[in-house]
Structure 1
Amino acid sequence: MTLKPIDYDDSQHRNYARGRPLHATAADMWMHALAAHAPDRRPLHVLDLGCGTGRFSPMLAEVFGSVTGIEPSERMREAAGRENFHPRVHYLAGRAEAIPLADASVDLVLMMLSYHHVRDRAAAAQEIARVLKPDGRLCIRSVFSDRMPVIDWHRFFPSADAVERAMFPTTDQVETAFAQAGLRPMALERHREQISESWAETAARMKLRPISTFEHLDEAEILAGQAALEAYAAAETSPTPLFIDADLMVLARG
């Protein structure tokens, strides 16, 4: 399956922040996971690469020091500056293949569900290696198609699983791309992330179509799936929290 690139300036920017708020427990979990792999010294300069609307950038600044958020979408950057301002966060135009930062200037790079949007992975690996300090770390939170988790809402959209298997890289593809730039895997962890408090909350979010998977689904499938999801949520007698098994790959010079 060949998928078209997603233009976040076209439509995805409109509902991204409202449709993908970060659960408080998830925010705390990710900051602890990143801190376990970051260099011990403080403050750190963190690169939030593919930062989107900046939902992680302010908390990264609070935990580590200063943050540069790089985002190619103008509309997403505008939302980041408006909705996730922080005095130690600077949002800049750029992309993984062309990072507007100096050599060896970054202690920690985070790619939070952004790696699968990178078009030239070899170029991106070289750029990330260039800006990382010698003891710096790269943390990639991604879905990996060879480690696909069970995603509960997929049951209502039959094509979603195949789309995401085509969308996301395998662990070997990521490791191979970065090995050519001198970065080697240090860890591959699976974390349990809460994404909502109930099916009703999930249905309300999915109605906004805030996930790029929807850009690749047929409109009839989306409408039918949303109707079925809302009916399922309406029958929920007590709130059922939804979770996802979330992978984090950590790389360093090796």
Structure 2
Amino acid sequence: MKRVDYDGPIHRDYHASRALGEETSRAWLELFDTILPARRPLSGLDLGSGTGRFSPLLAEAFGPVTGVEPADAMRAVATRESAHPLVRYVAGSATAIPAAGGEFDYGLLFLVWHHVADKDAAAREIARVLRPGGTLLVRAQFSDRMPDIWWLRHFPGGLELDARMYRPLAAEIETFEAAGFAARPDLRMVRDPSTQTRAQRLARLRHRSMSVFQHMSEEQIAAGFASLQREVDADPGAAEPTAEATVLVLTRS
């Protein structure tokens, strides 16, 4: 599938349209807190930090964070909109992380891994910058465990197209194990406590900041938004359904 250009128009509305609500932020931090070591501070890597959705939250809860983001435009938004005294945003990528070996206690990849072309090299590079015993949190989707995303059902072929962006869980585990992560990783599930209405979700989706839209034709997108609008018009105040999200938890050997 084609590469998503985050230096292009997608970056303009990303920060606002993909912002985390208070309850969603709390749910993710509570999960991370149950997984990460109890000692503080921890040195964190937010790999593919984008516009800085998570970096300030992680820094506030756990300690200093380095946000590594390859897209200059996304990183510029993060520096402007998501500044925090314990966060630094730097240029880099999953295969070229500007950090010393063993620098980080943990790393977070939040809906980033499917964008990485050379996953074998990236897994080795992530292993390099994590200390032995360090934790890697990979919030991802897997082609054999895809969630039923309510709004994506409205777009012709949307669910199938979304699944093609990901690999099976076993393939990802094999990649990380070969790079130096311990066998038998943990798979955690969290339900996003969305407080949005369907109408509010539709308004955000119209910014088209979800990467799946970059792989759709204009005809698919138009048909999907028309179908979504009909559902919203039928019950404007209806709450948005939630779906479970998966987090692969790995330990650096």
TM-score of Structure 1 vs Structure 2, range by shorter chain: over 0.9
Supply the distance in 2 between the matched residues of 1:56 and 1:137 (Cα, whole angstroms): 16
1:22-55 residue CA offsets vs partner (Å, 9 max, x unmatched): 1221111111111111122110110000011001
Supply the distance in 1 between the matched residues of 2:11 and 2:250 (Cα, whole angstroms): 30
Match of 1:40 among 38, 57, 80: 38
Q: In the alignment, does 2:7 pair up with 1:9?
A: yes
Corresponding residue for residue 200 of structure 1: 199
Structure 1 stretch displaced more, 149-158 or 66-75 = 149-158
Corresponding residue for residue 88 of structure 1: 86
Q: Percent identity?
A: 42
Task: State the 1:140 CA deviation.
Answer: 0.2
Supply the distance in 2 between the matched residues of 1:145 and 1:194 (Cα, whole angstroms): 23
Q: Which letter maps to 2:187?
A: L
Task: State the 1:239 CA deviation.
Answer: 2.9
Corresponding residue for residue 177 of structure 1: 175
Corresponding residue for residue 124 of structure 2: 126
Q: How many residues align?
A: 252
Runs of 4+ in 1 over 4 A off after TM superposition: none
Match of 1:98 among 93, 96, 99: 96
Structure 2: 5+ residue runs without aligned partners? none
Supply the distance in 2 between the matched residues of 1:100 and 1:253 (Cα, whole angstroms): 19
User: Do the aligned partners of 2:43 and 2:106 also contact (CA within 8 Å) in 1?
Assistant: yes
Structure 1: 5+ residue runs without aligned partners? none
SS at match of 1:247: strand
What TM-score, normalized to structure 2? 0.96
1:124-170 residue CA offsets vs partner (Å, 9 max, x unmatched): 11111111111210000011111111100012102221111110122
Task: State the 1:234 CA deviation.
Answer: 1.9
Which one has a larger percent strand, Structure 1 or Structure 2?
Answer: 1
SS at match of 2:79: helix
User: Do the aligned partners of 1:39 and 1:135 also contact (CA within 8 Å) in 2?
Assistant: no
Change beyond 3 A, Cα 1:12–1:196? farther
Corresponding residue for residue 213 of structure 1: 212
Change beyond 3 A, Cα 1:196–1:9? farther
What TM-score, normalized to structure 1? 0.96
Supply the distance in 2 between the matched residues of 1:249 and 1:195 (Cα, whole angstroms): 21
SS at match of 2:19: coil
Q: In the alignment, does 2:230 pair up with 1:231?
A: yes
Q: CA RMSD in A?
A: 1.2
1:64-83 residue CA offsets vs partner (Å, 9 max, x unmatched): 01000000000000010111
Supply the distance in 1 between the matched residues of 2:175 and 2:185 (Cα, whole angstroms): 15
Q: In the alignment, does 2:252 pair up with 1:253?
A: yes
Supply the distance in 1 between the matched residues of 2:36 and 2:146 (Cα, whole angstroms): 26
Task: State the 1:188 CA deviation.
Answer: 0.2
Corresponding residue for residue 75 of structure 1: 73
Structure 1 stretch displaced more, 133-142 or 153-162 = 153-162
Q: Which letter maps to 1:191?
A: V
User: Do the aligned partners of 1:12 and 1:210 also contact (CA within 8 Å) in 2?
Assistant: yes
